[in-house]
Amino acid sequence: TCLAFIPKTRFNIQTREIVERIFCQQLQGSITKYYEQITEAQLIRLQLIIKLQPRVKYHFNIEKIEELLVGAI
């Protein structure tokens, strides 16, 4: 599960798809489900459920993922 918090003013379908693409590429997985939580707050919570390959040892570069997300949004 991955969580991304995105400003309401910048959130739309294209933004969600870009965030999904970044997570899938960087985590080498595929989206199985996603949930958007939109409230009175200024941030939208996007929860992505990502399926990874079984029995594979992963090393994720969190700083690179954050950098890509910030640059895309």
> What's the one-letter identity of residue 60?
F
CA distance 24 to 52: 9
User: What is the model's pTM?
Assistant: 0.88
2, 15, 57 from 47: Cα distances, Å: 6, 13, 23
Query: What is the number of alpha carbons within 13 Å of residue 14 lying toward its C-beta?
Result: 4
- 9-49 pLDDT tens trace: 999 999 999 999 999 999 999 999 999 999 999 999 999 99
> What's the one-letter identity of residue 62?
I
> What's the one-letter identity of residue 49?
I
